[in-house]
């Protein structure tokens, strides 16, 4: 599967970003240069991603 982002700045808000598909989506979006805002029930689990 190929993911293509547009050439203008993209901002993404992702909930459930501490694990599973939310975590993978956050990493992919950041890898493509998007500004990513993460949300989770357990804030301490986001420190692993920083």
Over residues 6-32, the pLDDT tens digits come to 666 789 999 888 788 988 998 899 988
pLDDT for res 8: 67
Token reading at 32 = 């493509």
What confidence category does residue 47 fall into, taking pLDDT thresholds of 50, 70 and 90?
low
What is the per-residue pLDDT for 6? 62
Length of the chain: 50
- Compare 47 and 30 and report the one with higher pLDDT: 30
- Residue 26, classified by CB atoms within 10 Å of its CB into exposed (0-12), middle (13-18) or buried (19+), is buried
Is the model more confident about 1 or about 46? 1
Report the C-alpha gap between 32 and 48 in whole angstroms: 20
Q: Which of 10, 35, 38 is nearest to 24 (CA)?
A: 38
The pLDDT of residue 13 = 92
């Amino acid at each position: 599967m190929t993911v293509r982002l547009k050439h203008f700045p993209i901002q993404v808000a992702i909930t459930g970003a501490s694990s599973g598909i939310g975590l993978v989506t956050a990493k992919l979006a950041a890898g493509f240069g998007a500004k990513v805002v993460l949300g989770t029930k357990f804030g301490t689990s986001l420190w692993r991603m920083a």
